[in-house]
A and B are shown apart, each in its own frame.
Chain A
Amino acid sequence: NAGVTQTPKFRVLKTGQSMTLLCAQDMNHEYMYWYRQDPGMGLRLIHYSVGEGTTAKGEVPDGYNVSRLKKQNFLLGLESAAPSQTSVYFCASKLAGVSPYEQYFGPGTRLTVT
């Protein structure tokens, strides 16, 4: 199993450009999440999904959109990138349910917006 993979690993964008980050998991997990990590601020939830075809806003959703057309994939889009979106982006997935199923994290995408 590859676990959770993220594409690309690094990207540099100019202000106003758009891009899509891809997250894929092969563990048949129902729930998927997108976080951003900034120094001194921990991880903050951008959007999440509890199943194919469903998405919901997290703590910091502005400037981002997501789609979950297939169970194994969760896409994060930036329509018009801004320097404030320079960050490291992590995707995670987990099984559904109330048990303490852990979230499995991808290796991250480092995005710089100039």
Chain B
Amino acid sequence: GEDVEQSLFLSVREGDSSVINCTYTDSSSTYLYWYKQEPGAGLQLLTYIFSNMDMKQDQRLTVLLNKKDKHLSLRIADTQTGDSAIYFCAERDSGNTGKLIFGQGTTLQVKP
């Protein structure tokens, strides 16, 4: 079945770049998403990428997609303490129900 994998924890210093990685299994996924969850809150969409794209940039965020290896990454430039959160990678189910398959989430810790 479909599966999405992420490493569980990443620690960086303020001002450094953070790179969060994700692998997925469903090659027919049309869209891949990055969501952010702050403590005690729901998930908020950060960005998404269409499966026929290699890269998408949005201010401090850069998403890279390697379809051959089914690998997705999220780079956060100039990481700030306010970026500390859990980041979820998700692939959209290939059916028409809009279902998302989430990874386990990567906890990003930003040290001052």
Q: Report which A residues bind B (CB closer than 8 A).
A: 4, 31, 33, 35, 40-45, 48, 50, 56, 58, 90, 92, 94, 96, 98, 100-103, 105-108
- Residues B33 and A102 in contact, CB atoms below 8 Å apart: yes
Are the C-beta atoms of A98 and B96 separated by less than 8 Å?
yes
**Among all A-B residue pairs, the 10 with the closest Cβ atoms:** A105-B42, A42-B102, A102-B45, A43-B102, A42-B104, A105-B43, A100-B31, A107-B42, A31-B98, A100-B48
Task: Evaluate contact between B41 and A108: CB separation under 8 angstroms.
Answer: yes
| B103 CB to nearest chain A CB (Å) | 5
> For the complex, what is the distance from the CA of A58 to the CA of B8, rounded to whole Å?
24
State the CA gap A107–B6 with chains docked (Å).
Answer: 23
Partner of B41, one of A48, A103, A107: A107
Additional pairs, 16, CB under 8 Å, beyond known A40-B104, A90-B42: A4-B42, A31-B98, A35-B102, A42-B4, A42-B6, A42-B104, A42-B105, A43-B43, A45-B100, A94-B98, A96-B98, A100-B30, A100-B92, A103-B45, A103-B100, A108-B41
Which residues of chain B are within 8 angstroms of A44 by Cβ–Cβ distance?
102
Q: Which residues of B contact A94 (CB under 8 A)?
A: 98
Chain B residues, Cβ within 8 Å of A45: 99-100
Contacting residue for B97 out of A43, A56, A105, A106, CB 8 A: A56
